[in-house]
Amino acid sequence: MGRPPHDDLKAAFLTATALAADRALAPGRRTLAPGQAVTSEDALSFRTAAAALAWLDANYEELLRVIVRAAESGPSVHAWQLTWALTTYFAERQHWHDWLWTTELAIPQARALGDDDAERRLLRNLCRCRLRLGHHEDAIKSASAALESFAAAGDRYGLAHTHLSLSYALERLGRLPEATAHARTSLTAFEQAEDDDGRASALTSLARLCALRGEPRDALAHASAAITLFEALDNPQGTAAGHHTCGRASADLDRHEDAVAHYQRAIEVIEAAGGNAYYRSLALRRIAASRRHLGDLPAAGDALREAHRLLSGLDHPEAAEVAAELTHLNDTDNQDESWPSSTPSPNSSPA
């Protein structure tokens, strides 16, 4: 039984508007081909990322319902395109479980429609959301399947992005040499394609890997180059991630004033783009660590209290870690060597 015409028009409106919102959130992201993307004469447009986030926040539950209804009615372009359009939003708001089940729902929709490009895109996204949920081995399987499919299609852009996703999966498993190799492969491909957004993303990954490998000078160089590209592209998420990595590298070099400046800049960029409470808390915890190294314990306490407030508002388990850090800070007899590192949990990343 087909969908009523009104439902089709509403699904088209919501899908086309969600695609427009995604373009505002991630202007450098690869768009769908003109003949491929769902269109609607009534679709909204957005001048700022904050406006796009506000619309997505207000309509989120309805968008999820449309994905389900579209999938239940048979192979649906709305089901997969709306899922794909929400990719940046899922990551921004940390809706990892919703990202997972919608993507698992959308992949057979794309397959039934015979849209190989859509299936490849969704497989790569499946890797990304599995990563965020800590399903690292499953993420590698998804990335490997996407890599094989992009290679068969001769899609160099898709290959470059999938190498980047695979790099991140291997990073989470501690396989840093392999992760670095895939990140470098991705960077070379993006440079050959003159894709600045991809270059910036690959440089960010390389910077993070260098930091993890104890190479802070290289990390600082890569992250600084990424920031320059992301700022030119008006990509606040990428810019903030670059500053966060610069902050970490600066702290590793004992340049704690520089570290604080980078973390504060990351927070400013995140707030201007609509805010991300969890990533702001990560930066605040790093600021607290650098303030402590500088001997400014009151400022360290202020940063930790704000981080605790943000995490408590999210009902996040890391709020307890921050509470413990505050307890240590308030203990005037505490020695430096027993101080918690203020390092976020292993599954945390602003990138």
Predicted confidence (pLDDT) per residue in 101-113, tens digit? 999 999 999 999 9
Answer yes or no: are the C-beta atoms of 156 and 193 closer than 8 Å: yes
In angstroms, rounded to a whole number, what is the distance separating the alpha carbons of residues 270 and 138? 30
- 93 vs 70, 99, 317, CA distance in Å? 23, 10, 16
Inside any domain, residue 236: no
Query: Would 84 be classed as within a structural domain?
Result: no
Residue 333 vs residue 43, higher pLDDT: 43
pLDDT at residue 252, rounded to an integer = 96
pLDDT at 334 over 60: no
**Residue 71 within a domain:** no
- Answer whether 285's CB lies under 8 Å from 342's CB: yes
Could you tell me how many residues make up the chain?
A: 351
Name the residue with tokens 């440089």: 203
pLDDT at 12: 92
Residue 263 near residue 283 (C-beta atoms within 8 A): yes
Residue range of the domain that includes 326 = 296-344
Q: Beta-carbon neighbour count of residue 214 at 10 Å?
A: 9
Q: Calculate the CA 90 to chain-centre distance.
A: 9
pLDDT value at residue 155: 87
Whether residue 3 has pLDDT greater than 70: no
Lowest mean pLDDT among 222-226, 305-309, 343-347: 343-347
CA distance 76 to 113: 7
The answer to the question of residue 267 being in a domain is no
Average pLDDT, the chain: 89
Rounded CA-CA distance 303/288 in Å is 5
- Is residue 305 situated within a structural domain? yes
83, HSE (Cβ side, Cα atoms, 13 Å):
34
Yes or no: say if 330 and 301 are a contact pair by the CB < 8 Å rule. yes
- Please tell me the predicted confidence (pLDDT) of residue 7: 65
Q: Is residue 28 part of a domain?
A: no
Q: Which phi and psi angles does 63 have, rounded to 5°?
A: -60, -40
> Are 123 and 93 in contact, with CB atoms under 8 Å apart?
no
Structural domain includes residue 301: yes
The answer to the question of residue 45 being in a domain is no
DSSP 8-state assignment for residue 317 = T
Number of domains within the chain: 1
How confident is residue 1, by pLDDT bands cut at 50, 70 and 90?
very low
